[in-house]
Amino acid sequence: MEAKSEDDRQTMRKPASKAQADEADISADESGAPTPEVVALRHGYNQTYIVRSSKNNLHEVLFRCGNWCYSGKVDLGSADLELADLPVVVPALQKQQASLQYLCEWKAMPATSQYSTPLETLYDVYDFIGAELSSERIERKLMKAAEEHSWVDGDDDSNSRTFFELQSGGYECFDGIDIVASKTFVRGLVLLVIYYQRSFYVVLQAADGEQPLLDVRFPDLSAHLQGIHLQTYRDDDCSNMKKLTLWQAANIGKHQSPPKPLKVQCKDVSGAGYNQTFLIHRTPRAEGSTNTPSLREVLFRFGNWCYNGHVDLGPKLELSDIPIIIPMLRRQQNALVSRFVDPFIFAATSLIEHCCVDRPLCAKCPRCQRRRYSPRRWSI
């Protein structure tokens, strides 16, 4: 966060008397609007997910990763998404990122795009949050709360134990949106902002060490324990905010069940399509022998036909060898035969000899009985 030094703050805000100090404190609490100090959060490395409302499992989404924006439809397993679903919604979206198409750079988002106003509104709220949480009045209230409640500044290495809820008056641009999740990395800090049903949920986490370029982990903030009211905003301060609350996060393992995994519907690509399949057995090794043979038994499916046999593919195979294994197998395809050729030939020959030659019918043979009641008798 870009904040001014303590000396600069004292110079700007130092009152002439104690009465003026009390008056300034009361005025700040009543106005509700943050100070003009700039805390630039929108310029950090950002990941943003916007999920639009839908009547079925397919949702239109926007995914911003750094400077790039992608959009498309993904299957999130449910038409109605709730705040508790977020920990599984974002990973489900990420697994279907191949369904998204590149849209534009986020700074070049067309004004006509349905995501332009929601994005700009979200980042305006970023600015408000940065200025508000770095303000002196919120800092004083948090310090006082930490003295009275141990959970306020409690350390938890795995997950944040507290989060802020910033209630708003609602935004028209978010009316057709189920949920917005955003994560920003800036100056050793991770800022998570989640919008759901007119409230912004804010989590601050330390960003020590290496961080993944694509982090799909979001906490479940649907339940909380104790809370501390920090600020009520006036209707005439143009911020469209109602109040700011600090909540103690609930332990999901003790207080509620974890979110159910979303069942994503996938298309069945199996069927009567053209197929090639290669099955390669391990090389057999005789007991007491130290030599590894290079001949392997293989099965090759080519469309509707299957062939098998033994080919020389070397004593050891690895995953990286696949680009050369298949050409080697095909060069030795003359060593493969269809394992069903002989039975097919025998069955066809027997049938032809028995049924396709005009001869007297016998009473015991099933084939002859079928010929007896068949409306047409075949002969050569």
| Residue 165, in any domain of the structure | yes
- 348 shares a domain with 324: no
Task: Report the Cα 146 to chain-centroid distance in Å.
Answer: 36
pLDDT digits (tens, 9 = 90+) for 280-325: 888 776 666 666 677 888 887 777 778 888 888 877 777 777 778 8
For residues 94 and 92, give the distance between their C-alpha atoms in angstroms, rounded to a whole number: 5
| Residue 269, in any domain of the structure | no
| Residue 12, in any domain of the structure | no
- 90 shares a domain with 166: yes
| Residue 264, in any domain of the structure | no
**pLDDT at residue 119, rounded to an integer:** 92
> What are the C-alpha distances in Å from 328 to residues 74, 189, 323, 324, 325?
40, 54, 9, 6, 5
- 230 shares a domain with 141: yes
- 325 shares a domain with 176: no
Helix then strand count (H, E) for the chain reads 9, 14
**pLDDT at residue 154, rounded to an integer:** 64
- 97 shares a domain with 148: yes
**pLDDT at residue 48, rounded to an integer:** 93
| Residue 198, in any domain of the structure | yes
Q: How many residues does the chain have?
A: 380
Q: Total domain count for the chain? A: 3
Structural contact between residues 194 and 200, judged by C-beta atoms closer than 8 angstroms: yes
- 360 shares a domain with 330: no
- 351 shares a domain with 319: no
| Residue 230, in any domain of the structure | yes
What is the number of other CB atoms lying within 10 angstroms of the CB of residue 297? Answer: 14
Domain that holds residue 111: 27-255
| Residue 123, in any domain of the structure | yes
- 190 shares a domain with 314: no
For residues 315 and 320, give the distance between their C-alpha atoms in angstroms, rounded to a whole number: 15
- 172 shares a domain with 42: yes
- 242 shares a domain with 101: yes
Q: In the chain, which stretches have pLDDT less than 50? A: 1-39, 156-159, 254-259, 374-380
**pLDDT at residue 240, rounded to an integer:** 87
For residues 207 and 116, give the distance between their C-alpha atoms in angstroms, rounded to a whole number: 29
- 119 shares a domain with 82: yes
For residues 78 and 58, give the distance between their C-alpha atoms in angstroms, rounded to a whole number: 8
| Residue 214, in any domain of the structure | yes
**pLDDT at residue 12, rounded to an integer:** 40
Q: Is the pTM of this model over 0.75?
A: no
Q: Which helix (H) or strand (E) holds 144?
A: helix 136-148
- 367 shares a domain with 321: no
